[in-house]
Amino acid sequence: MNKKILLAAGGTGGHIYPAVCIAKELIKQGCSVAFVVNNSDKSIDFIKSQNLKYYELKVIGMPRKPSFKIVVFICKLVLSFFAAAKILISYRPGVVVGFGNYLSFPVIFVSKLFFIPAVLHEQNVISGLANKVLSVIADKVLVSFPDTVNSFGKNKAVFTGNIIRPELLSAKETEAFEKFSINKGLFTVLIFGGSQGARYINSLLCESLKYIADLKDKVQFIHLTGERDYILVQAAYKKNAMKAYVYTYREDIWNAYATADLVVCRAGATTVAELIAIKKPAVLIPLSSATANHQKYNAGYLSARDAGIMLEEKNLNPDVFAKVLRELIEKPEKLQTLKNNLSKIRDFETIIPEKRITETILSLTK
């Protein structure tokens, strides 16, 4: 039996973290694991820190508009097929797993030319272009939402749920408030935009504060800004005399969640899975430039169940955003409705994603 598993993963923390979790589970099962990552990817540092073997592959994303860049993309894509073949010949995996971004395409495609079983991991409610194309040749597609099963067919799709950090479920509210040294008696809003921050959300919040300045004795903010906007956001809170705890980034996001009455965030797949797991009401602002507008569909999974509020950028301005915040702060029954409906989402309760994913991968080893 060949228990060498090759994982193609790159891009944001939302892709890398689940892949590393699966790698560790597979290692516990006696597998040898290696990664394929983009040679310009920041994820290399994280994979190095976990002492995991990796190969580098040079890949660029597909241009979204017709231009000369498409010619460059096609040339580099062809070269990436040869580079992927070299990696596969060197490592000789028993199964290849693609974690859903453009990096997966050459690795999965070439693996099937070598008759190596291939698995795709689709985190979002709707599939990205790479996974849509590759699903035709993949042996199994691991999906994170039950609504996605029909996109790939019941014989190919395996509903696994999405991997979340175990600390999220074990975080204690009292300890979390102590970590941040903040007032437990105030309504707490947690704002973040993913591992890189979100300029749009940061700017929107800064421009909205003047409309809710009268709530300064009722509300406090924990705001993870990313590197670029830290000074700008901190100055906006100070200007409007609002209580705020501003950070570029916090590794212990679970403590930030534990303090929050309300979360304002993007709608990445991992974030939505976290909100469902810990039953936190949220205002979700999908990234409008996301491929195939997939964040809108992720947010829609919650908003369709009245378990979250989706605000699309095209319909949003500081006044509208401030009114939504005010209503949720001043009308606890609105917040309670969201909480109650989050508790009604039972699709994920009996699933252990790591276990189901590793079992599916190992079932294909020969």
**Domain co-membership, 36 together with 138:** yes
Q: How many domains does the chain have?
A: 2
**Domain co-membership, 258 together with 144:** no
How big is the CA angle at 182 (ends 259 and 175), to the nearest 5 degrees?
55
Contact call for residues 338 and 264 (beta carbons, < 8 A): no
**Domain co-membership, 29 together with 146:** yes
306: left (phi over 0), alpha (psi -120 to 50) or beta: left
Look up tokens 């009722």; give the residue: 218
Per-residue pLDDT of the chain (366 residues; tens, 9 = 90+): 789 999 999 766 677 888 999 999 999 999 999 999 987 777 788 898 999 999 999 877 766 677 777 777 778 888 999 999 999 999 999 999 998 778 899 999 999 999 999 999 999 999 988 899 999 999 999 999 999 999 998 899 999 999 998 999 999 999 999 999 999 999 999 999 875 558 999 999 999 999 999 999 999 999 999 989 999 999 999 999 999 999 999 989 999 999 999 999 999 999 999 999 999 999 999 998 777 789 999 999 999 999 999 999 999 999 999 999 999 999 999 999 999 999 999 999 889 999 999 999 999 997
**Domain co-membership, 117 together with 243:** no
Q: Pick the closest to residue 108 from 94, 97, 123, 122 (CA basis).
A: 97
**Domain co-membership, 9 together with 151:** yes
What are the tokens at 192?
Answer: 């973040």
Distance CA 31, CA 3 (A): 5
- The CATH number of whichever domain residue 58 belongs to comes to 3.40.50.2000
**Domain co-membership, 30 together with 120:** yes
Q: Is the pTM of this model over 0.85?
A: yes
103 lies in which domain range? 4-161+351-362
